[in-house]
Structure 1
Amino acid sequence: MQGFVRVGERPEIAQLPLFREMDDAKRERVFAGSFLQVFPPQLTLFELGQHADFLHVLVDGVVELSATSGGRETTMRIVEPVTSFILAAVVNDLPYLMTARTLEPSRILLVPAALIREVIRQDTALMQATMHELALAYRDLVRALVDMKLRQSAERLGNYLLQQDFRQSAKGVVQLKAEKRVLASLLGMTPENLSRAFSMLSAHGVRVEGSTISIIDRDALNAFARPDPIPV
């Protein structure tokens, strides 16, 4: 693990969307009190119900956000770089509503919550960037709810693959960022249902080779999955 953000790391971190437009002096104040750490896979970063002591910004790696109720657990989001996660809890000084766990080695910037709240009040650019990230998170939530309510399981999987293709390269090859059991939970399925959904998609232009998914007939998949009319 690393301690405070080193001088050589600061130019890279300064270019992250949340900090890019900030006043230089206020940005340096944030960095002086923050930590850039490398975490191993399968490490719990925080748990549901814990008070939000830090803002987490994922620089490299993959993080799973999950929720539990009545002894059941479900994946709520798979976080990929570069973004903060559970920003709302930090801004509102409230407990986390989800548990965060690394899925692969991950480099994460930890900013003390009290510090980020203080600087948000002082720096207009940071305030605007915070509003932007919160708005994107809200839109992602709406998309997820629409997906769950209006699509069957295989259609949800097809739509997810089209979204990932758009985000990764738009070249028709998707690399899954998490184990299939985590993906199944994210999409509201059992692992068995996910396997059946992949089999069904083979008739609609999808080929599966381990964690590599190829979209070999985009028109067929679009017709089946009915992707969102508004791009991601």
Structure 2
Amino acid sequence: MSVETSVLARSKLFAGLGSNTANMLLKHAEIIRFEPRDFIVRENQRADAFFCVIQGYVRLFKTNEVGRAADIRICEPRDTFAECLIGGGGIYAYNAQAADNIVLARFNLDGVRRLAEEDRALDRNIMQLMADHLLVTMECVASDRLQTAPQRVANYLLSQCSPGKPSETVRLPYQKSLLAGKLGLAPEALSRAFGSLKKAGVTVRGRTVRIDDIAALRQM
């Protein structure tokens, strides 16, 4: 089994599928690579595929008529995007851009659509992926409206900590500009939020973040 196939096999798209269906699904996939800042798809482009991240990170975002961008999501390994188009729709609703050197599986929409019509397990997986993405989106909207910028950053850092530890050093998985977009913040707002967390023992050095008192951070 190749590295790419191994990662795909552990994704939610492939969860619980029989070997025949999994092999058929792989036949509809093409492994592709992109360099940092390459566009994978562009907003309003005609859609013929959806994707699963195998290596690296993908930035999803929308732009308005004057070029301002709003981040939607950062996709990590084993995440899928644009799978909602299996159910219909002819264009991509957002831009997808490589955040670093990435490897993707590109799945043909028509082929997977036909396969899902024949296999209930695959159809359930696709429905579950779309439901998960809807719930994450709702959580992001709630976070934007209910939490301050420092609280959003604190909650993100806490999500990166190991259970039961009083302190920890974590490394941000991607650049701060991407983290800012993920949290719905401007880069300068993210910097101010990190500054306000110093009283909870948070020290930032590049992409390395030291948390001296996890319990204090939870109280932010």
Q: Same fold (TM over 0.5)?
A: yes
Residue matched to 2:119: 123
1:59 and 2:54 equivalent? yes
Residue matched to 2:36: 41
1:190/1:10 Cα in 2 relative to 1: closer, same or farther (>3 Å)? closer
Q: Is the contact made by 1:23 and 1:123 (CA closer than 8 Å) also made in structure 2? A: no
Aligned 1:22-37 pairs, distance under 5 A: 22-37=17-32
Q: RMSD over aligned Cα, in angstroms?
A: 2.3
CA–CA separation in structure 2 for the residues paired with 1:163 and 1:94: 36
Residue matched to 2:145: 149
1:192 aligns with one of 188, 191, 196: 188
CA deviation vs aligned residue, 1:155-202 (integer Å, no higher than 9, x gap): 2211222234369x9973332233222222332332222111111111
1:203 and 2:199 equivalent? yes
Aligned 1:1-232 pairs, distance under 5 A: 8=2, 11-12=5-6, 13-71=8-66, 72-165=68-161, 172-224=168-220
CA deviation vs aligned residue, 1:95-135 (integer Å, no higher than 9, x gap): 22210011111111011011111111111111121122112
CA deviation vs aligned residue, 1:18-76 (integer Å, no higher than 9, x gap): 12422322322222232012222211000111232111000111111111113211211
Q: Is the contact made by 2:166 and 2:212 (CA closer than 8 Å) also made in structure 1? A: no
Q: Is the contact made by 1:55 and 1:116 (CA closer than 8 Å) also made in structure 2? A: no
> 2:182 is matched by which residue type in structure 1?
L
> 2:99 is matched by which residue type in structure 1?
L
Q: Is the contact made by 2:194 and 2:204 (CA closer than 8 Å) also made in structure 1? A: yes
1:158/1:134 Cα in 2 relative to 1: closer, same or farther (>3 Å)? same
CA–CA separation in structure 1 for the residues paired with 2:15 and 2:198: 43
- Structure 2: give runs of 5+ residues left out of the alignment: none
* Stretch moving more, 8-17 or 105-114: 8-17
CA–CA separation in structure 2 for the residues paired with 1:14 and 1:213: 32
> 1:38 is matched by which residue type in structure 2?
R
1:16/1:42 Cα in 2 relative to 1: closer, same or farther (>3 Å)? same
Q: Is the contact made by 2:167 and 2:212 (CA closer than 8 Å) also made in structure 1? A: no
1:51/1:163 Cα in 2 relative to 1: closer, same or farther (>3 Å)? farther
> 1:10 offset after TM fit, Å?
7.2
Q: Is the contact made by 2:167 and 2:213 (CA closer than 8 Å) also made in structure 1? A: no
1:108/1:171 Cα in 2 relative to 1: closer, same or farther (>3 Å)? farther
Q: Secondary structure at the match of 2:161?
A: helix
> 1:9 offset after TM fit, Å?
5.6
Query: What percentage of residue pairs aligned between the two structures are identical?
Result: 26
Q: Secondary structure at the match of 1:18?
A: helix
CA–CA separation in structure 1 for the residues paired with 2:117 and 2:218: 44
CA–CA separation in structure 2 for the residues paired with 1:153 and 1:50: 33
1:165/1:135 Cα in 2 relative to 1: closer, same or farther (>3 Å)? farther
CA–CA separation in structure 2 for the residues paired with 1:60 and 1:139: 24
Runs of 4 or more consecutive aligned structure 1 residues displaced over 4 Å after TM superposition: 7-11
